[in-house]
Structure 1
Amino acid sequence: MSNKPDLNQADWVKSSYSGGNGGQCVEYSKTFVHSGTVPVRDSKHPQSSVLIFSVSEWSSFVSAVKRGEFST
């Protein structure tokens, strides 16, 4: 049995940090949080690979972004 979620059921949300200029666009799905995972994909290439993070990993990443740890 696979632990990979059925991404056909995913409701995707574009990150508010992606902006509207067609640049670095990330989408994530809250659909599977109850099972402990957060799928993440490139919104410019939605049919390409999806990264699967644990809820803890995703929360740590989002917190780091909010603190500006990845600013350019």
Structure 2
Amino acid sequence: MDDVTEELLQSAAWRKATRSGEAGDCIEVAPLGDGQVGLRDSDHPEKAPYVFSPSVWAAFIDGAKKGEFDF
């Protein structure tokens, strides 16, 4: 999170999946510039998000699409 400032996190376009509904238990993602992606708990947006590099985020998305994280 070296290049990510508090101002950038506050102004980020956070969004959650449309399938998450309104029951809570959701995460939100936002592009943070330079290809970085933020990930946070929608119930606690005041807490620091996880910030991923472009390559780590791409690897996660690829794995998710392939079902590598299915339980």
TM range (shorter): 0.7 to 0.9
Amino acid at match of 1:63: D
- For 2:14, the equivalent position in structure 1 comes to 12
Provide the alpha-carbon RMSD of the alignment.
1.9
* TM-score normalised by the chain length of structure 1: 0.74
- For 2:27, the equivalent position in structure 1 comes to 26
| Residues paired across the two proteins, number | 67
State the SS of the aligned residue for 1:28.
strand
User: Is 1:53 equivalent to 2:52 in the alignment?
Assistant: yes
- Structure ranking higher in strand proportion: 1
- Structure ranking higher in helix proportion: 2
5+ residue gaps, structure 1, are none
The structure 1 segments of at least 4 consecutive aligned residues displaced by more than 2 Å after TM superposition are: 18-23
